[in-house]
Amino acid sequence: MEKKTFSIPNISCGHCTSAIERELKELDGVKDAQGNIQEKNVTVNWEAPATQEKILSTLREINYPAAE
């Protein structure tokens, strides 16, 4: 299982973190996603078939792109 914290600069409220968590948890292989409003990030635990690129792509699609 892989775990990574992604910086999401445009998180501004609880709705943002809820939307991000919900969308990421729908990806096959994502076991957990926890957003942090104060730190403006999301920590994701995943295994195959999920990949880091699929997670990054999903974040872009829902208008919460991760900072590089």
Closest CA to 62 of 42, 32, 48, 36: 42
Helices (H), 4-51: 14-25
**Is residue 28 assigned to a domain?**
yes
Confidence of residue 68 (pLDDT cuts 50, 70, 90): confident
Give the structural domain span for 13.
2-61
Cβ proximity of 22 and 28 under 8 Å: no
pTM confidence score: 0.94
Count of structural domains, the chain: 1
**Is residue 16 assigned to a domain?**
yes
**Is residue 50 assigned to a domain?**
yes
Q: What CATH number should be reported for the domain holding residue 30?
A: 3.30.70.100
Could you tell me the strand order of the sheet in which 30-36 lies? 2-7, 41-46, 30-36
pLDDT tens figures, 11-52: 999 999 999 999 999 999 999 999 999 999 999 999 999 999
**Is residue 34 assigned to a domain?**
yes
pLDDT tens figures, 49-62: 999 999 999 999 99
**Is residue 55 assigned to a domain?**
yes
- Alpha carbons 67 and 11: distance in angstroms, whole number: 11
